[in-house]
Amino acid sequence: MNKPMENGFSVAMKLVAGKWKIDILCALSGAPRRFGRLRHSIPDISEKMLAQQLREMETDGLVKRQAYPGLPAKVVYSLTEAGAALCAGAEGLCRWSERFQVRAEA
Amino acid sequence: MNKPMENGFSVAMKLVAGKWKIDILCALSGAPRRFGRLRHSIPDISEKMLAQQLREMETDGLVKRQAYPGLPAKVVYSLTEAGAALCAGAEGLCRWSERFQVRAEA
């Protein structure tokens, strides 16, 4: 009876594992962003790393990439419904940490 | 601006990392349980592993251990307020997985 819960949780966790995906979800939760703007809103991420994370998140159905014709082409990233919902879930856990001042800092 | 979110999320995640802690949170979310009953409700966990996980969760403030005198002594485990709230947060992510049928099964 517990396994589906554990599995569902693990699936969600796998999607945001790694150093940057939570940051990207947060950065896109306010509004869609162009690549350059997105990069500036996440300190320390490299262009290559951001591009790779975005590709993975697009494959996972969390992020939508929309290209508009023109020179230079304008590419805008936004959260899908699933991405926005995952961000909300992650925020819930974040608020939990703030509220309970957990002792796991060590 | 994103770092506190990422850090808070990571803190919560660290507390439930590992194979069993989500299962234990779930099992205790319905009602407090004695050790033996708890063990039976989580298939495949060994006595040693359950004891170890419970000790860690007690240290982390997620689980409360209450011993009642008698022979044999009765020891009951329950979720603290923090543990119950973390369980609710984890359930949110679990429901997310169910709802969005994420493609991360592979």
What is the distance, to the nearest Å, from the Cα of residue A61 to the centroid of all Cα atoms in its chain?
11
- pLDDT tens readout for residues A25-56: 989 998 999 999 999 999 889 999 999 999 99
A 36-95 residues inside an 8 A Cβ radius of B: 41-42, 59-61, 81-82, 85-86, 89-95
Q: Which two tokens stand for residue A71?
A: 């020179």
Asked if pLDDT for residue A87 goes beyond 70, the answer is yes
Asked if pLDDT for residue B52 goes beyond 60, the answer is yes
ipTM of the complex: 0.75
CA angle (A42, B91, B38) in 5-degree steps: 130
Return the residue of B nearest to A3 by Cα.
Answer: B23
What are the phi and psi torsion angles at A77 (to 5°)? -105, 140
Cβ atoms of residues A43 and A69 within 8 Å:
no
- pLDDT tens readout for residues B17-34: 777 898 899 899 989 999
Q: Between the CA of residue A69 and those of A31, A35, A66, A72, A73, what are the distances in Å?
A: 21, 15, 10, 8, 5
Please give the pLDDT value at position A101.
65
State in words which class domain B3-100 has.
Answer: mainly alpha
Which of A1, A9, A42 would you mutate first to test chain B, the one with the most B CBs within 10 A? A9
DSSP run (H or E) holding B2: none
User: Could A102 and B60 be called an inter-chain contact, meaning their C-beta atoms sit closer than 8 Å?
Assistant: yes
Nearest to B93 among A2, A12, A95 (CB): A12
